[in-house]
Amino acid sequence: MPALISIFGQNLGRAPTAASQLPLPRRLGDVSVKLGEIELPLLFVGPGQVSAQVPVELPPGATASLVIQTGNLFTTPDQVTIVPVQPAIFTMNQQGTGQGAILNQDASLNSATNPAARGSVIQIFATGLGATNPLVPSGTPAPSSPLARVINELTATVGGLSVPAQFAGLAPGYVGLYRVDVVIPPAAGPGSAVELTLLQNDVPSNTVTVAIE
């Protein structure tokens, strides 16, 4: 599952460093991360956090040891199990709660002062939505043609109303970032913080909010 993950700890890296090239590097400064025998593509490393992509080469159901190497030092291995899907919506506070990372139909950022119209299409940004067709190699940006669509069906619930996704797949030009397009139900109630979730393989995402007028 090509999900984006963040690993927190102490003394994981030296100076904060973000990847500046694509495909993503497998080493930033003197930091690398292995899951089993595979080095992970890295987005960011710092003293307290490492952000990386789970490689598509690891099949669902596999269990592997996660180890961070900084110079000649290694963390204690942690066992990680790969699951087919684990939907998670990005949020503006970067804590997984509150206003979702959502664009309105005109590509403007959804917010309490810029709500989406009922019947319009919104774009929800997420991770953990599993395998795609076509398969996109780890660390590389998703193509715009053909679009990399998710294999496992996905629905959204907006204000308690279930709606199918018009599109669910990797966002073109980005690594490991998924985009889900849904229509705001005409029957949805307006509000500055209407609850929204994703459901995939009976696995729910975190609950976020979307502003609707």
- CB within 8 Å of 18: residues ≥ 6 apart: 28, 43, 44
Domain count, the chain: 2
Same domain for 125 and 150?
yes
Q: What are 7's two structure tokens?
A: 């690993």
- CA atoms of 143 and 175, how far apart (whole Å): 10
Q: What are 63's two structure tokens?
A: 């269990």
Same domain for 101 and 153?
yes
Please state whether the peptide bond connecting residue 204 to the residue before it is cis, i.e. omega within 30 degrees of 0: no
- Which of 28, 54, 81 is the C-terminal boundary of a domain? 81
Same domain for 10 and 65?
yes
Q: Nearest CA to 147 among 121, 117, 108, 180?
A: 180
With helix as H, strand as E and coil as C, how does 71-121 read?
A: CCEECCCEEEECCCCCCEECECCCCCCCEECEECCCCCECECCECECCCCE
Same domain for 34 and 66?
yes
Q: What are 210's two structure tokens?
A: 């979307």
Same domain for 105 and 31?
no
- Which of 24, 58, 81 is the C-terminal boundary of a domain? 81
Same domain for 102 and 130?
yes
Give the pLDDT confidence of 144-194 residue by residue, as tens digits: 999 999 999 999 999 999 999 999 999 999 999 999 999 999 999 999 999
Same domain for 122 and 199?
yes
127-159 burial, b if ≥16 CB within 10 A, otherwise e?
A: bbbbbbeeebebbbbbeeeebbebeeebebbbb
The answer to whether 29 and 14 have CB atoms below 8 angstroms apart is yes
Residue 40 maps to which CATH number? 2.60.40
Residues in the chain: 213
Residue 172 domain boundaries: 88-212
Tens digits of pLDDT across the chain (213 residues): 679 999 999 999 988 999 999 999 999 999 999 999 999 999 999 999 999 999 998 888 889 999 999 999 999 999 999 999 999 999 999 999 999 999 999 999 999 999 999 999 999 999 999 999 999 999 999 999 999 999 999 999 999 999 999 999 999 999 999 999 999 999 999 999 999 999 999 999 999 999 999
The answer to whether 163 and 185 have CB atoms below 8 angstroms apart is yes
Residue 198 CB neighbours (<10 A)? 28
The answer to whether 42 and 15 have CB atoms below 8 angstroms apart is no
